[in-house]
Structures are given as C-alpha cells and as structure tokens.
C-alpha cells in the first residue's frame, strides 16, 4: 500500500508539474513534501483560487524551497486506473534539500500564515519522502500542516 501511495503521489507530482523538473531524474532525490487539499463543505470556489495564488506567491518565496508545483487534479482516473487519487481540489509538491529544509519551510512565518489562513477551510493529506535514508533526521519533524 505504501508503494502504491508513493507511486500515486509521484504521479501527482508529475501531473502537477507542467514544467521541467528543477532536478535531473535519478535514483536519488531531494526531500519531497506532497500535500493534497480538499475544500470543506460550504467553502466558496473562490477560496480554491486564492489557495492556488498564495501557494505560488507566498510558499514559493520560502528560502528552503528548491522547487514547487501546484495545480488541480489531472483527469487521468479511468476504470483501468481506478487507483488514481482524484478526491481533492488542489495539489502541492514542495522539494527541499533534506528534512532540515522541510522543517525550516514548515516553521517559516510565510508558511505559518498560510496554515492560519487556510487550515480551517481545507482538509489535507500529506506525504513526505526521500530516496536517501541518510536525509531523514532521527527526531520527528514538526506536526504542522501543509
């Protein structure tokens, strides 16, 4: 299941990219933080557009961010690909150099303000991964949302 979820999140990242990746593809990768957002009931549609704008403007400016992709679900779910995750409104993929970079991103005032602004309007699911186990810190990262 973990492999399927990771594969799905990688596919999400590729679908959201819409541009060339900032890193060459290889068997090792930087630290990756993927978040999918689902608007809570009664949240205006304009809030989704505001969320996308603030991701691009505010979160991309956080210094540890080496790459960021944002977007809406790609229409790739079919009966043959029933495993595709499409029950969300917005996807975010943030690339940092390592777990310390992710911690810096999560604790940055711009990220904290983003969480304060949107935390009550969206449910989130988060996947963090790296192919380099030496990049994982021995202590858990802060539990802050996206």
Give me the tens of pLDDT residue by residue for the chain, a chain 146 residues long: 444 444 445 544 544 444 444 444 444 458 899 999 999 999 998 999 999 999 999 999 999 898 899 999 999 999 999 999 999 999 999 999 888 999 999 999 999 999 999 999 999 999 998 877 665 665 555 555 55
Q: Helices 45-57 & 109-118, crossing angle to 10 degrees?
A: 180
Edge-to-edge strand order for the sheet containing 122-129? 67-71, 90-96, 31-39, 122-129
Pick the CATH number of 2-135 from 3.50.50.60, 1.10.3720.10, 3.40.50.720, 3.30.70.100: 3.30.70.100
DSSP-assigned letters across all residues of 5-24: HHHHHHHHHHHHH-S--SS-
Q: Which two tokens stand for residue 110?
A: 């711009």
Q: Where are the domains of the chain?
A: 2-135
CB burial of 59-81 (b: ≥16 within 10 Å; e: otherwise) equals beebebbebbbbbebeeeeeeee
Confirm whether pTM is higher than 0.75. Answer: no
| Separation between Cα atoms, residue 18 and residue 134, nearest integer Å | 30
């Amino acid at each position: 299941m973990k492999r399927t979820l990771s594969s799905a999140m990688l596919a999400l990242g590729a679908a959201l990219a819409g541009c060339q990746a900032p890193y060459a593809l290889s068997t090792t990768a930087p630290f990756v933080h993927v978040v999918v957002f689902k608007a809570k009931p009664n949240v205006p549609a304009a809030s989704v557009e505001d969320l996308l704008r603030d991701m691009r403007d505010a979160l991309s400016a956080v210094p540890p961010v080496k790459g960021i992709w944002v977007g809406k679900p790609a229409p790739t779910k079919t009966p043959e690909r029933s495993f595709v995750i499409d029950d969300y409104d917005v996807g975010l993929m943030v690339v940092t150099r390592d777990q310390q970079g992710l911690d810096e991103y999560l604790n940055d005032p711009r990220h904290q303000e983003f969480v304060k602004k949107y935390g009550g309007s969206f449910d989130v699911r988060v996947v963090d991964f790296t192919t380099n186990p030496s990049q994982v810190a021995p202590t858990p990262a802060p539990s802050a949302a996206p």
